Chain A
Amino acid sequence: MATDTLVVRTRRDAPGRQAGTSRRVGLVVIGIVAVLAAAALSLAFGSRLVSLGEIADGLGAFARGEVPADVGAIAVQERIPRTVLAIVAGAALGLSGAVMQAITRNPIADPGILGVNTGAALFVVCGIAFFGISSVYEYLGLALLGSALAALFVYLVGSVGPGGTTPIKLALAGAATTAALSSLVSAVLLPRAQAMTEFRFWQVGGVGGAQWGSMAVVVPLLAVAALVAFALASGMNALALGDDVAVGLGVRVGPTRALAAIAGVVLCAAVTAVCGPIAFVGLMVPHVMRLLSGPDQRWILPLSALGGAVLLVLADTAGRVIGSPGEVEAGILTAFLGAPVLVIIARRTRMRGL
């Protein structure tokens, strides 16, 4: 695959050396091609082995707005919404991770760091345990609300005291809040095995439940948040130099960080609401992209979106092929890939003496 050769080649050139603009444009082009290639794989491969004819039938019937008669062709057609969801969700997670790493200046920051996943989890659990929710829209609403409140709480805690909002305070507040919310989740779940059964499905993040209806709800949210994030890219570049330097460069540190945080939270909260918590995409992808493109957020953000999409689509496809005749959720595969990456990042970071 194209991405393999890409990684091998750039490991030799990077890191440290500033990549030229033409190379970054090349990276974006390769990213777009990789997304398309991953999507093609996702449509062609799954738990069920389908023929080229069935693929053509499934796609053709979809284009005509019909449901094909043949199970193989229907299976192909059913891969369309989940492929789209994997692209959208992966892109949003990658972008969200890049934003969070930028504003917290913390290399292991990812959507989990601001309490977003656990906030969503707590609200979903309470909904299941106390209000018997089961529809996708109820999950969506509660997860969004929970993520937003958790992130807001973390931001408030992280900004009290002298010095205002600092990256280290944000990360600490996020970790503490996550720990506290996790124990609340357990407290609600433990005596309620039935709720645990339902929560289990949501908690293992995946895109198998893709429905056009729920996507239509989140995609506008994601689009707005993504645009905000892109618009703040140069401001985030300044933040990376430290708050004092950023102020010296004329960047309004507080509003930039707050707005970027909101965008990052919305991006990952909306995905979490539809797919459940999908770990490590937001952590891994921006790191790889930073290695490839250098530290400029204006390139890291779009590249992270592309990389996230590729990663999640491939994880979902691989999960279906490996799990056949069942399926392995994409969230399990990303966690499987992500844990070693986290170790590598932690080791590199220490060696640089950060």
Chain B
Amino acid sequence: MVRKPLLVLASGLGAVALLASCASGDTTAATEPAGGGETITVEHALGTTEIPADVERVATIGWGNHDVALALGVAPVGVDDQTWSMDGGDGLGLYDWSLEAYEELGAEEPVIFDTADGTDFEAIADSEPDLILAGYSGLTEEEYATLSEIAPVVAYPEVPWYTPWRETIRIDSEGLGKADEGLALIDDLDAQIADAVADEPAIKGKKAAFFFINAADLSTLSVYATGDSRTAFLGDLGFDFPQVAVDAAAEGSFYADISAENIDQLADVDVIVSYGDDSMLEALQADPLWSTLPAVQNGAVVTVGLGDAFSGAVTPTALSIPWMLDDYVALLGDAAAKAE
């Protein structure tokens, strides 16, 4: 699934570098405390955090927060490994788009925090951060309290593990004292998305959702709710959502389990997006229940791999969006065209 990632990343970074060079150091959230030194105040789900303006050493935990910092020209000194979605044999534990950004910035490779056993407090403390970014994470109140003793912490805006990529950029960039650059980055990514989908008119108005399907056992499936960042990104690309994804969100869950016996509840899905490889469509078409779905009959099934970089990239981050956008949109456009 390698598709000229270098080129995509380079163009994305170029745009970011341009933005960074013309943006000012002011932030909308900045205040002037009595002491005279500038302090940034960020509000999030776990409290209000005061951050000194002269932050130099940034640590990030959770998913994709390091990519926000990197996109804004700050190379974190320590990063959570991203292995929950990738193969453990992949060296440093970061994806290419992040590693290349480190290279681009001429920065040293970060210390990788081990996530196998929860938050790696010792390694985080050892990296001596001035700021810990966790805008997209699952921090608990206890973890937040412990981390706050190490350095100021920016947690998620509302719900753990449920932060859309724009919100991740917004809150992390506020913490970095680069709120304006953050907004510019969002605008830039939105422009890239608009460009990419302009050539795929078939997407508009089709209903798509992100699924978890186990090819070895097709008797059940999971569908991610509309607010989950994977499904939400399909919405960013112009898709509408099927009822099951809307209902799951309304029930406050980030996914819904459905038995294949109730496969007709998915009849309004035009495009199925799922982890897995090319054999998935064949398996679905061979299954008596799945094969009753129009999306399966039409072959409108997009598989994004499993455990490889592309399957990680589709949970969008500030840097993974430019890295995967054209390829992903092309796959989705093809599938949407089949749904006609």
Identify the A interface with B (CB < 8 A).
46-48, 67, 71, 74-75, 77-78, 82, 129, 134-136, 139, 190-195, 198, 201-202, 206, 208-209, 320, 323-327
Contacts and interface: CB of A to CB of B under 8 A. Distances in A.
Interface stretch (B21-29, B159-167, B172-180, B259-267): B259-267
A323 B259 contact: yes
Nearest to A326: B257
Nearest to B312: A194
A74 B260 CA distance: 10
A194 B288 contact: no
A194 B87 contact: yes
Nearest to B220: A327
Interface stretch (B46-54, B210-218, B234-242): B210-218
Interface string B257-279: 11111111100000000000000
Contacts of A134: 215-216
A82 B216 contact: no
Contacts of B264: 71
A71 B289 contact: yes
A228 B218 CA distance: 35
B292 interface: yes
A82 B86 contact: no
Given A82-B219, A209-B217, A193 B257 contact: no
A326 to B, nearest CB: 3
Interface size class of B (residues with CB under 8 A): 20 to 34
Nearest to A276: B217
A82 B259 CA distance: 14
A78 B262 CA distance: 12
Contacts of B218: 209
Nearest to A48: B261
23 contacts: A71-B289, A74-B288, A77-B288, A78-B260, A129-B88, A190-B116, A192-B83, A193-B86, A194-B84, A194-B86, A201-B216, A202-B216, A208-B217, A209-B219, A324-B259, A324-B262, A325-B258, A325-B259, A326-B220, A326-B256, A327-B220, A327-B257, A327-B259
A16 B47 CA distance: 65
Contacts of A75: 260-261, 289
Contacts of A195: 88, 307
B298 interface: no
A192 B219 CA distance: 25
A326 B259 contact: yes
B306 interface: yes
A190 B258 contact: no
A67 B261 contact: no
Residue of B85, B259, B260, B292 with highest tally of chain A CB at under 10 A: B259
